[in-house]
Amino acid sequence: MKLSARNQFKGIVTNVNEGAVNGIVSIEINGEIVSSTISMNAIKELGLKKGVEATAVIKATEVMIATELPKISARNKFKGTVKNIQEGAVNDIVTLDTKLGAVSSTISKNAVEELELSVGKEAYAVIKATSVMVGIE
Q: Check which CATH number belongs to the domain holding 28 and give it.
A: 2.40.50.100
Distance CA 53, CA 51 (A): 7
Domain count, the chain: 1
Please check whether residue 125 lies inside any domain of the structure: yes
pLDDT at 74: 97
Distance CA 114, CA 98 (A): 22
For the stretch 90-93, contacts whose Cβ atoms lie closer than 8 Å and that sit 24 or more positions apart, written own/partner, are 93/6, 93/60
Please check whether residue 24 lies inside any domain of the structure: yes
Confidence of residue 2 (pLDDT cuts 50, 70, 90): confident
This prediction has a pTM of 0.95
Distance CA 12, CA 21 (A): 23
pLDDT at 1: 76
Please check whether residue 67 lies inside any domain of the structure: yes
DSSP notation for 5-45: -SEEEEEEEEEEEE-SSEEEEEEEETTEEEEEEEEHHHHHH
Please count the other Cβ atoms lying within 10 Å of the Cβ belonging to residue 78.
19
pLDDT at 70: 85
Distance CA 135, CA 34 (A): 13
Q: Percentage of residues in the chain with pLDDT exceeding 90?
A: 97
* pLDDT, the chain, mean: 97
Contact 48, 25 (CB under 8 A): yes
Distance CA 18, CA 8 (A): 24
Please check whether residue 2 lies inside any domain of the structure: no
pLDDT tens-digit profile of 87-96? 999 999 999 9
Q: Tell me what the mean pLDDT of segment 21-45 comes to.
A: 98
Q: Which domain holds residue 127?
A: 7-135
Confidence of residue 52 (pLDDT cuts 50, 70, 90): very high
